[in-house]
Amino acid sequence: MPSTTMKALRKPRAAAGAAVESVAIPEIGPSEILVRVRAASICGTDLHIYHWDRWSASRLHPPLTIGHEFCGTVEKIGANVTTVKPSDFVSAEMHVACGHCRPCRMGQPHVCQNGSIIGIDSDGCFAEFVRIPESNIWKVDPAIPEHYAAILDPLGNAVHTVLSGPISGQTVAVTGAGPIGLMSIAVARACGATNIFAIEVKAHRRALAKTMGADVVLDPAAGDVVAQVKEATEGAGVDVLLEMSGNPDAIHQGFKMMRPGGRASLLGIPSRPVELNLVADIIFKGATVHGIYGRRMFETWVQMTELLKAGRLNLDPLFKERLPLDKYAEAFALLESGEAGKILFYPNGSK
């Protein structure tokens, strides 16, 4: 008789910390899918939840299984499911859209007004099994390696950011070379960006930025990065700013190094309001600014799949530790140090 319980990394109560617990394997409805998790990846958001910061306290309702980046195989499907079948290799878009609010009706379900996120608003993927509605399942192309399939969620953020405007034949500044910043460098490079500047304070991330395809890496602690980018672009500034840091200084510098008529796509999340020189940096510049949230459903997933299938993205330098679920304290400590790459959990046994 098969087990009806599973191991899951949980936020047991409204406080800092987490715990591996034994919980019931999710029941699925007629339009849902049960996925056996193969590999799951930790996001910076998970660290905020672990520490129970103000945002977490205002949003989450423990007890809850956390985690929202993963891949796995279909274990069971509901009666109405036709998109996948048992043993298919899958990942999922974890933002669940309502389908009938105005953004959804206008083709923008990624900013659904009634949206919820699996792993934040309902039980997530740091567990042996996770339940996914059919609308959100994504069949992973067999050409895509397992560890890449585990990080489609943040890679999708990068692809969404890079492709939110013209990129081919354009000069680009990426402010912030954390995991998504680094992925966006690789994506921009693969899509024909031609002079990629990475602005980052940490030396090992600058080194990684070079590996991922940055043409020039700059340390804002060591010089005037705005002047450096302007000089390297014949005084013009870059065509495109990809803001991946959420740091107010980086945001200011980023806008200043963007040329008049340029495009800024903002993904990094500042922890508080930011004072902007709207006149000089946006209005008189005739700039276009895109706020980036999640991934386009499902254009981003198609574009990302194509780039990965075609072997255009080498993301291997980003991966580091691979741990069992119960090493979560070690995983969060590593992530906090800022020295880790993408950390993978293997809830159903080690790789």
Under the criterion CB under 8 A, does residue 259 sit at the interface with a second copy? yes
Q: Is 169 in the site for a second copy (CB under 8 A)?
A: yes
Rounded to a whole number of angstroms, the minimum distance from the CB of residue 289 to a second copy is: 4
321 binds a second copy (CB under 8 A): no
Side-chain-side CA neighbours of 29 within 13 Å: the count stands at: 5
* Residue 293 lies near a second copy (rule: CB under 8 A): yes
Is residue 332 near a second copy by the rule CB under 8 A?
Answer: no
Q: Which of residues 212-251 bind a second copy (CB under 8 A)?
A: 215, 234-236, 239, 251
Long-range contacts for 235-238 (Cβ within 8 Å, ≥24 apart)?
A: 237/262, 238/170, 238/171, 238/172, 238/173, 238/195, 238/197, 238/262
37, 74, 152, 191: which one binds a second copy (CB under 8 A): 191
Q: Is 45 a catalytic residue?
A: yes
Residue 160 bears catalytic tag? no
Task: Tell me, by CB under 8 A, how many residues bind a second copy.
Answer: 77
- Alpha-carbon separation of residue 112 from 117, 153, 306 (angstroms): 11, 17, 26
∠ Cα 185 108 189 (to 5°): 15
Return the beta strands (E) in 186-237 as ranges.
Answer: 195-199, 216-218
276 vs 323, which CB is nearer to a second copy? Answer: 276
Residue 69 beta carbon to a second copy: minimum distance, rounded to whole angstroms = 19
Q: From 8-16, 149-157, 281-289, 320-328, give the range in contact with a second copy by CB under 8 A.
A: 281-289
Residues in contact with 11: Cβ distance below 8 Å, sequence separation at least 6, in sequence order: 17, 18, 49, 50, 52, 60, 62, 63, 64, 66
Query: Is 57 one of the binding residues for a second copy (CB under 8 A)?
Result: no
CB of 339 to a second copy, least distance (A): 26
**Residues with a known catalytic role:** 45, 48
